[in-house]
Chain A
Amino acid sequence: MHFTINGATHAVEPDIRASLLDVLREHLGLTGTKKGCDHGQCGACTVLVNGRRINACLTLAVMHQDDDILTIEGLGSAEHLHPLQAAFIKHDGYQCGYCTPGQICSAVGMLDEVAKGWPSHVSADLETVTLDGAEISERMSGNLCRCSAYPNIVDAIAEVAGAERA
């Protein structure tokens, strides 16, 4: 199977049953993407596929051979942090850090959804979206944090989005 991940192509021979998450972690050594629940319930495995955020644990790798896959390793590096990575550090948006790559990939996808004008469950008006703390919390609800760093995660995302926190 062939994959395009963070701009580079890779050829690997995983089992047909392999999830995209397992190919990233077990076959390509891209262990930034985490496995929390393996059942779509926690968001630790969030990656961007053709720019859209998805749970890498609930999709078969074989179904993504023609796709453009972006993981936390492709978003930024220690020397060149993505603005969200920098904001998570500044606002202490984590404690153990296990959920953080998923939170950041999810936030990248989420901000793109907002830019496209997509409403959320808490949008009073489906046609005009204003990002605030409640919108960020709702839109990020697919990413759990066992350390409960939620207030700081919302602060970090709000700063990057230029959104009001309250």
Chain B
Amino acid sequence: MKTFTYSRAESPEAAVAAGGRFIAGGTNLLDLMKLQIETPEKLVDISRLDLARVERRGDGGLTIGALVPNSDLAADPQVIADYPVLSRALLAGASGQLRNKATTGGNLLQRTRCPYFYDTAMACNKRDPGAGCSAMDGFNRNLAVLGTSAECIATNPSDMAVALRALDATIVTLTSDGDKRRIAIGDFYRLPGDTPHIETVLRPGELITHVELPAPPAGAQGYRKVRDRASYAFALVSVAGVVAVADGKIVSAALAFGGLAPMPWRDAAVEAALVGQVPNDAVFAAAADALLAGAKGHGANDFKIPLARRTLIATLRTLTGAVA
């Protein structure tokens, strides 16, 4: 690990003024620092900031502090009651120990699990811009089939962010100039294009202070994660869904996908294929067609395309009560 200076911030304002790299739970940053994939010179410890509460707002929504640990958020009675898709997504991620340390802000910014990003002996455009992408013709079983570029096919590994995308969360930040910004989660992540090392619209030194959820949505919520082992593994494919049915028809649908793309993926065409329809397998298949129309496998990850189709259909059956 490269050495660094360390300071503990006493307030969000002091944290951004310090002008260093934030460390919260440390479960992703330290992992990468040990491998010298991340080499911050100045660490600013934000773990003691007073940003660890979940609070109900007047409009019925929830404001989640950036330092709320993943385990506490998953077990929060308000989240369980009104946003169970978020509890389910969090509980499907990592392990009990890691969730106790991982924070809401850190989880949003965790980096890819592409094996070549982790292997410093191999070329990787995300780690070393311009170096090339070893995954393109390599071991790309866990990589993306949607939203990729010729430079990078990595996935975003977060489960939590997939649920937040289906819930239309807003990310609230404090910029290094001391200004507050509000960023819809749909605008937060960037596709790789020819700059795969830039993953979000955050500016240097910008601090995530809160995540806001709108008032609880109508309908059934669920999170389905498919992975290589039953626990403690990243998603191959995951689906977060909020679907409401009234008078035998789907009246609203929000679906977000993990494991398929460089960001938690959402596609208005999927939802348009569902709303107004009687829930049945033909309708669900049309939604899957809309999702996967532009999907492109790279060999070892081709299986994700039919797997995503089946996972979406299974999730929709569960959420609408439709039988196969």
Residues 16-51 of chain B: 1 if any A CB is under 8 Å from the residue's CB, otherwise 0?
A: 000000010111001100100000000101010000
Contact call A60/B98, Cβ cutoff below 8 A: no
Please name all residues of chain A whose beta carbon is closer than 8 Å to the beta carbon of B322 when the two chains form the complex: none
Q: Which residues of A contact B6 (CB under 8 A)?
A: 16, 60, 62
Would A43 and B97 be within 8 Å (CB), given that A116-B75, A119-B91, A138-B231 are in contact?
Answer: yes
A106 CA to B101 CA, complexed, in Å: 14
Main secondary structure of the interface of A (DSSP, over half): loop
Any chain B CB within 8 A of the CB of A34?
Answer: no
Q: What residues of chain B have their CB less than 8 Å away from a CB belonging to chain A? A: 1, 3-6, 8, 23, 25-27, 30-31, 34, 43, 45, 47, 71, 74-75, 80, 84, 87-88, 91-92, 94-98, 100-101, 230-232
Q: Flag the segment in A48-56, A68-76, A89-97, A157-165 that touches B.
A: A48-56
- Segment with Cβ contacts to B, from A2-10, A24-32, A78-86, A120-128: A120-128
Binding site for B on A (CB under 8 A): 15-17, 19, 38-40, 43, 46, 52-55, 58-60, 62-63, 106, 109-110, 113, 116-121, 123, 126-127, 137-143
Contact B26 A60 (CB under 8 A): yes
A19 with B80: in contact, given A141-B95, A141-B231, A142-B95 (CB under 8 Å)?
A: no
| Known A16-B6, A17-B3, A141-B232: A119·B27 in contact at CB below 8 Å | no
**Cβ B4 vs Cβ A58 within 8 A:** no
Known: A17-B3, A118-B75, A121-B92. A38 touches B97 (CB 8 A): no
Find chain A residues with CB under 8 A from B100 CB.
Answer: 52-54, 109
Least distance between B72 CB and chain A CB atoms (Å): 9
A121 pairs with B231, CB closer than 8 A: yes
27 of the cross-chain contacts (CB-CB < 8 Å) are: A15-B3, A16-B4, A39-B34, A40-B31, A40-B95, A40-B97, A43-B95, A52-B100, A53-B97, A54-B100, A54-B101, A58-B26, A58-B30, A58-B31, A60-B30, A63-B26, A63-B45, A109-B100, A113-B96, A119-B87, A120-B91, A126-B88, A127-B80, A137-B231, A142-B94, A142-B232, A143-B95
Cα A127 to Cα B96 with chains together (Å): 18
Please give, as numbers and ranges, the residues of chain B lying within 8 Å of A58 by CB-CB distance: 26-27, 30-31, 98, 101
> In the complex, what distance in Å separates the CA atom of A62 from the CA atom of B8?
10
Question: Which of B34, B43, B71 is close to A113, meaning CB atoms less than 8 Å apart?
Answer: B71
Q: How far is the CA of A59 from the CA of B232 in the complex (A)?
A: 19
Residues on the B chain within 8 Å of A53, using CB:
96-97, 100
Docked Cα-Cα span, A56 to B201, in Å, equals 32
* Inter-subunit contact B96/A117 (CB<8 Å): no
User: Which among A58, A62, A109, A119 has the highest number of chain B CB atoms within 10 Å?
Assistant: A58
Q: Is the CB of A119 within 8 A of B80?
A: yes
Q: A63-B45, A63-B47 are in contact. Are A121 and B91 (CB under 8 A)?
A: yes
- Docked pose: A16 CA to B6 CA in angstroms: 8
Cβ–Cβ < 8 Å partners of B91 in chain A? 119-121, 123
Contact A17 B80 (CB under 8 A): no
Given contacts A118-B74, A126-B84, contact A139 B96 (CB under 8 A): yes
Residues of A within 8 A of B92 (CB): 121
Contact status B27-A55, CB under 8 Å = yes
**Least CB distance, A155 to chain B, in whole angstroms:** 19
Nearest CB of B to A51, in Å: 10
In-complex Cβ contact of A106 among B47, B96, B230 (8 A): B96
The smallest beta-carbon distance between A152 and chain B, in angstroms, is 19
**Contacts A40-B98, A109-B100, A113-B71 known; 17 new A-B pairs at CB < 8 A:** A17-B4, A52-B100, A55-B27, A55-B101, A59-B25, A59-B26, A60-B30, A60-B43, A62-B45, A106-B97, A113-B75, A113-B96, A119-B74, A119-B87, A119-B91, A126-B88, A142-B95
Residue of B nearest to A39 (CB): B31
Q: Which residues of B contact A39 (CB under 8 A)?
A: 31, 34
When the two chains form their complex, are residues B34 and A60 in contact, meaning their CB atoms are under 8 A apart? no
Residues of A within 8 A of B98 (CB): 40, 55, 58, 142
Report the bound CA distance from A158 to B257 in whole Å: 36
Shortest CB-to-CB span from A41 to chain B, Å, is 8
In the bound complex, CA of A17 to CA of B4 (Å): 8
Cross-interface CB contact of B75 among A17, A62, A117, A141, cutoff 8 Å? A117
CA A139 to CA B98, docked complex, whole Å: 12
Within 8 Å CB of A116, what residues of B?
75
Task: Give A38 to B1 CA distance when docked, in angstroms.
Answer: 13
Q: How far is the CA of A141 from the CA of B1 in the complex (A)?
A: 28
